[in-house]
Each structure stands twice: as C-alpha cells, then as structure tokens.
Structure 1
Amino acid sequence: MLVEDRSVSIVVPIYKTPQYLPQCIESVLAQTYTHWQLILVDDGSPDECGEIADRYAQQHSAIQHSAIQHDAIRVIHKPNGGLSSARNAGLEAAEGEYVMFLDSDDFLEKDFLEKTIGAAVKDNLDMVVTPTRNVSARGEFIEDLKRDEYWRTFDGKEQLIRYNVTPRIYRTEFLRENGLRFSEGELMEDVVFCLAANMLTHRWRLLDYSGYCYRLNPEGIVGSFKKSGIPDNRIPYRGLREAVRLVKGKNGRRDDRILEYCTVRILVTILFVFCRKSDIKTVRHMCSYTRKLLEEYFPDFVHNPYFDVRGEENVPRFQSLAVWLFKILYRTRLLTPFAIVYTRL
C-alpha cells in the first residue's frame, strides 16, 4: 500500500477558542498530504465555535476520500465534558489508519502530515513524534524545541521521556488494541496517556522536524495551576494508576525499570510543581497516594539504576536533584512534612 493511500484522522477538541479556530482548520486544509479526516469536537463551547465548525464542514462538504466513509470534515456537538472527553469522542469516531490530536488554538505547518505519515508508513511505526514549534499568542515563531529534549538512553535503549500528546501521529489500531484513552475529569491527561503509549511500543520514531505549532498561553489552565495550586479532584490519581497497571510487566524487567523511572519523575513533578500552592489536605492526599502507588507497583524504586544525582542524559540537572531529594524523603518517611512546608513557601 502506497503512502498516498493511507488516511489519517485529525481530532480537534474545541472549547472557547473562536479567535484561533479558523487558523487551526485552515492549516489542515492547506496540508500537502490530502488523505485526511478532520473531526471537530465542539465540547459544548458557549460561544460561536460550534457555528464556525459547522460552517467549515458545509463549505468543504465536497471533499471526499476513499478511505473515509463520512465527510472529510465531520463535526460532533456534545455537552461539555472537558478536554479528555472531547478527545475520546473524536478517537471513537476516527476512521483513518492513523490518528492525531490537534488543539484548537494550535496549527500545523503545511507539510506536517506528509512528513509524519511518510515516516510511519516507511518503517511500519505505531507512533511518530516531532519536537514542538512554539509560537506566540499571535502565531509568531518563538523557537523549535530540541530533539534531544525528548529522549534518553537506558542501557542502549532509546526511550521517549516527554509527554506531549499533540505533536504526534499514532496508528489507530495501536491505541485501540491497547485500550488507550484519556482519563476524564483529571488534568495532565497528556502525561498519563503518553506514559502508556511511550512504553507500550518499540515501533516509534522521533523526527528531526518541527511542524506542530504550539501557541504559548501563560494564562492557560496549566499556568494557572502552577500559580494557585492544582485542586485535589483534578490530580490524575486514577489515570496514572491505570497507565502503570496497563504497562507494568508487559516487556520485561528493563522496561519495568524505565516505567518506574518515568513514573517517579511524574510524581515528583505533580507534588513539587503542580501542588506547590495547593491546600494542605491536597498535599497530604498526594503524598499518601504516592506512597501507596510506589508500594504497590515499585517497592524497590530507590535502587533504580537510572536515577543519577550527577545528572542524566537529556534531563536538566535540577530534575535529577529533585528526584534524589524525593528518594531521601521517601526512605526517611519525611516526604509529607517536607511537602507541606515546601508548598507553603
């Protein structure tokens, strides 16, 4: 089967982005690779987003692709359920052999699909990842993230260590066969989804190409929780546990150690970054959850050989130091009191 015979579904969850949505859609229409299905999921947006989506679908109803049963642009209107709910709805509707997730305030360079689909088909990959191109709120170029920031080597095995769900394409059956979905009602859904996806396949490739344009928004939901603290009911307790359960034991001891390494780094980030300004009850709950998760799945994590206080490949030194401190606090049972004091500073 030729590259041009493969199809890709592009899932766009939409909520309160009327000023950016047209550019997002236009960037798909401008793709040099044309065998796509665009699924616009209006997540109960209270503005004109739903009307914008419907208008584009009507204006381009003549676009048809042989591999896609429905119109090339399909609009799903649903009650507001959050980003994960909208992505799951789009994933269920996806008809393409490949699928990707494009946020409605972001956009693609015109050759993004051509580059990623070409790589996926050439090497029969489950996942193709690209570094993000950061742009301003006005869409102006800021920087391309470095390829080296996305991976490190574990005993000769290259492994992704970043968790952005959007600058990627996935083989649709890979996601469905492994039951990969987004954890609804929780934040950091990208992190837990990508943790599982990264660990469940060895058939992936990181391109030296940046074509996914990520619009930086300091006032976005992630930025706001870094300032005020994440609420207890939005921490991905359920999603992270499910991702670990899904992956552990699938690919041998080395991969379990890599999973352990990645999980601990995620726990440290949640506790010391996102819970920094959370209330004491939330911090206590997060510490309790952390201990229970590690005792159940990774009771020997303090002896993981991949943690190195001297610095780790492609990992900022301060992150290595944070994990080193976390291990000491965990072993001495001082994690909770330290976290309470730290998050009050």
Structure 2
Amino acid sequence: MLFSIVVPMYNSEKYIGNCIESVLKQTEGDFQLIIVNDGSNDDCGDIADNYAATDKRIMVIHQENSGSFHARIKGVDNALGDYVVFLDADDTLKEYTLEQLKKHILIDEPDIIIYRAENFIENGGVFQSEKLFKDGTIFEDSNKKIVYEKFITDSSLNNLWTKAIKTKCFDNNKVRHYPPISMGDDVLFTLEPLTNAKKIKYIDEILYNYRIIKTSMTRKFQPNVYNGFKLITIAKKGYLSKWDMNTEKYINELSIRTLKNVSGIALYSQANIRGREKEFVNVLKEIQSDSFFYEAYSTSFRSLSLLRKLPIFLIMKNKLKLLSYLKLIVTKLRTIKQAN
C-alpha cells in the first residue's frame, strides 16, 4: 500500500463528510484512510463509521479525548502505507493529490514531499500558501540545512498537512512524552521526520484545501498557549545539535521567535480576552517571571521591530492592565474589520 491518510477528528460533523469524499474521489486509489475520533460528542463518529461500513479502505478509531497530537500518533501507529499524508477533518484534498504525489515518489523516491495549499475563507476569499523554494528542489545531505534553517526562522514549514512523509521516518516513541498543547503540535510531530529524512523534495503544486472558518478567526483565549510555544522552542533547540546548527546565530533566532510569540499573545493575536481580563493579566505575570522569557529578552529584544517591542516593553515595565486594555481595543478593531 502506498498511502495512509491520517485524519484526527473532534466534533467535525459539519465537515467530515466532505473531507472523506475528497479522499474517496482520489484519482489514485492505493490508500488507507485512518480517521481517529478523538472523543467527539457530536455525530461525526457515526458519520465516519457509516463510510467505513461501505469502504474497506477506511478505518475508524474511537478514543477518549487526548488532543490532535496524540490522535495523529494513533493514526501513524496504525499506518500500513509507505507514506503518511495528514488531513484535518474540516479540510479536503484536491482530487489529484495522491496521483501527483505518486508521480514524484516514482521519479525521485523522496522521504518527504513538501507541497502547497489553497486557503479559503468560508463566505470569503481564496489565497494560496507561500511558495517556499524553487519547484522540484531536492534537499539531501549537502543542502538539507536550508530546510532546517527555514524551519527554525519562521513558521511556514510547521504544518503537517502540506507534507507526505515516509512512514519509516516517524519515531513515535520519541514524541509520545510530549504533553498536549493548544497550538503548534504539528511542529513537535515534524522534528523527527525532518531529521530522519535522507531526501526531501519540494514541489510547487497546490494539493491541499485549507478551510479558514470565519467564526474561528477570532479565537478563544487559551491561557496555556505560552507554555505550548515554550515547549516547541525548547524542542527545536534540542534538535540544533542534531542538525549541526547549535550556534549563536540559530539560538538567537529561537529567542527572537520566543519574543514574537509573546508579543502575539500579549497584543497581536486573534484571541479574544473579553470577560477574562484578570486571567489574561495572570498569564502575563507568569511570562514576566519566566526565566526562559527573560533570557530571550536579554539577548534578542533589540532585534525586534518597534511594533513587536511595544507589548514586550509593557510587560517588562509591569504595565499589564494597560496591555489588557490595548488587547481589547485591538481585538475589537479586528472584529469590525472582518465584519466589513
């Protein structure tokens, strides 16, 4: 079997049918579809079971809610295909996705294929994800560090759903110990395959449809998001030595990323804190007293733009209530802009 498509699913009854149909309509039929129902309390589990009853290529696994990260681990544990393709339950594949991936596998036998997505906002616009490299570029021992550098310096390579990964590149035993985090768990899942891959191929092809749900564009405030970002940065730092990149340059890049994440949490992210201002201030206090944040501040604050410096400056000056008021204003202005 060539492909295992892993779909973590939680309360996705509105979208899971379209997701499954996009897989069943593939022009390449050599696949296994693994749907991991992560403790949903809507009807998406029944919908998936009904599809599985009519197509033996579909496997549905039901588990207690443990987060998308551990749902993906469960999916990879059950993968029979040579390659794993990840698909979120509210997204879809292009009908030719697997056919195109197979073509590149037969030509170059890469361990990882990186491709592009088309992002569409419900009742809104459509835009394509960023082009990262020249079409057809192959990264091996001599130039693989280019991929690692991109992974360290920005977030464009973070997601799993624009990668087909050879199953043998995963080592789930090395990731099981990570605790569930609210955002960014794709990064933790990507580190080991990137390390183990001997050959990575980038193709400038749109093979994935990523849905941006308008009602979720202003996200619910998640008090543990900083700890999640911190865990990701520590994990990335742990791989620098494996990638022969444990130098001041890349350590500083991760410190800058930490400060940008804090800046986003404090002011620029889409999280709505209305009614939770006191909790928000408590999160800022935790950040303020965190040695990991302070180390990043001490080494990399000067490297930030003025807009990124503002919330960091207010945190360091203990102007936390002022920052919460600014956050409410920024969120309100963004909501008005989206409505128009």
Q: Deviations over 1:37-86 (max 9, x none)?
A: 1001111211211111111111112xxxxxxxxxx211101112222222
Q: 1:218 to 1:202 in 2, by over 3 A?
A: farther
Amino acid in structure 1 at the alignment position of 2:13: P
**1:233 Cα deviation from its structure 2 partner:** 6.7
**Aligned residue for 1:174?**
169
**Aligned residue for 1:219?**
215
Please give the alpha-carbon distance, in whole angstroms, between the structure 1 residues aligned to 2:198 and 2:114: 13
Amino acid in structure 2 at the alignment position of 1:98: Y
Please give the alpha-carbon distance, in whole angstroms, between the structure 2 residues aligned to 1:34 and 1:339: 58
**Aligned residue for 1:129?**
114
Amino acid in structure 1 at the alignment position of 2:2: S
Please give the alpha-carbon distance, in whole angstroms, between the structure 1 residues aligned to 2:225 and 2:300: 28
Please give the alpha-carbon distance, in whole angstroms, between the structure 2 residues aligned to 1:177 and 1:294: 32
3-state SS of paired residue (2:100): helix
Please tell me whether residue 207 in structure 1 is matched to residue 203 in structure 2: yes
Please tell me whether residue 321 in structure 1 is matched to residue 313 in structure 2: no
**1:74-223 equivalence runs, <5 A:** 74-137=59-122, 142-148=126-132, 157-158=146-147, 159-160=150-151, 161=154, 162=156, 163-176=158-171, 179-180=174-175, 183-190=178-185, 192-193=187-188, 196=191, 200=195, 201=197, 203-220=199-216, 223=218
**1:28 Cα deviation from its structure 2 partner:** 0.6
TM-score in terms of structure 2 length: 0.73
Partner of residue 273 from structure 1, selected from 258, 264, 268: 264
TM-score in terms of structure 1 length: 0.72
Q: Deviations over 1:71-109 (max 9, x none)?
A: x21110111222222222212222222112211110000
* Mapped contact 1:271–1:339 kept (Cα < 8 A): no
**Aligned residue for 1:337?**
317
Q: Deviations over 1:285-319 (max 9, x none)?
A: 23444x42785xx899549xxx9x6xxxxxxxxxx
* Mapped contact 2:175–2:189 kept (Cα < 8 A): no
Q: 1:89 to 1:52 in 2, by over 3 A?
A: same
Please tell me whether residue 285 in structure 1 is matched to residue 286 in structure 2: yes
**1:247 Cα deviation from its structure 2 partner:** 0.5
3-state SS of paired residue (1:223): coil
Please give the alpha-carbon distance, in whole angstroms, between the structure 2 residues aligned to 1:264 and 1:121: 40
State the percentage of identical aligned residues.
Answer: 24
Please give the alpha-carbon distance, in whole angstroms, between the structure 1 residues aligned to 2:89 and 2:201: 25
* Mapped contact 2:171–2:192 kept (Cα < 8 A): no
Please give the alpha-carbon distance, in whole angstroms, between the structure 2 residues aligned to 1:177 and 1:82: 15
* Mapped contact 2:240–2:246 kept (Cα < 8 A): no
**1:241 Cα deviation from its structure 2 partner:** 5.2
Please give the alpha-carbon distance, in whole angstroms, between the structure 1 residues aligned to 2:97 and 2:117: 11
**1:127 Cα deviation from its structure 2 partner:** 2.0
Please give the alpha-carbon distance, in whole angstroms, between the structure 2 residues aligned to 1:323 and 1:194: 31
Please tell me whether residue 244 in structure 1 is matched to residue 236 in structure 2: yes
* Mapped contact 2:119–2:126 kept (Cα < 8 A): yes
Please give the alpha-carbon distance, in whole angstroms, between the structure 1 residues aligned to 2:27 and 2:160: 22
**1:186 Cα deviation from its structure 2 partner:** 1.1
**Aligned residue for 1:312?**
none
**1:136 Cα deviation from its structure 2 partner:** 3.2
Q: 1:179 to 1:203 in 2, by over 3 A?
A: farther
Amino acid in structure 1 at the alignment position of 2:118: R
* Mapped contact 2:4–2:81 kept (Cα < 8 A): yes
Please give the alpha-carbon distance, in whole angstroms, between the structure 1 residues aligned to 2:190 and 2:83: 19
Q: 1:187 to 1:32 in 2, by over 3 A?
A: same
Q: 1:219 to 1:183 in 2, by over 3 A?
A: farther
Please give the alpha-carbon distance, in whole angstroms, between the structure 1 residues aligned to 2:198 and 2:211: 30
Please give the alpha-carbon distance, in whole angstroms, between the structure 2 residues aligned to 1:167 and 1:137: 20
Please give the alpha-carbon distance, in whole angstroms, between the structure 1 residues aligned to 2:193 and 2:160: 10
* Mapped contact 1:272–1:339 kept (Cα < 8 A): no
- Range with bigger deviation, 176-185 or 46-55: 176-185
Q: Deviations over 1:108-148 (max 9, x none)?
A: 0011122234334533333222222012336x871212314
Unaligned runs of 5+ in 2: 135-142, 268-272, 274-278, 327-340
CA RMSD, 1 decimal: 3.8
3-state SS of paired residue (2:204): coil
* Mapped contact 2:12–2:89 kept (Cα < 8 A): yes
Q: 1:149 to 1:91 in 2, by over 3 A?
A: same
* Mapped contact 2:116–2:130 kept (Cα < 8 A): yes
* Mapped contact 2:233–2:258 kept (Cα < 8 A): no
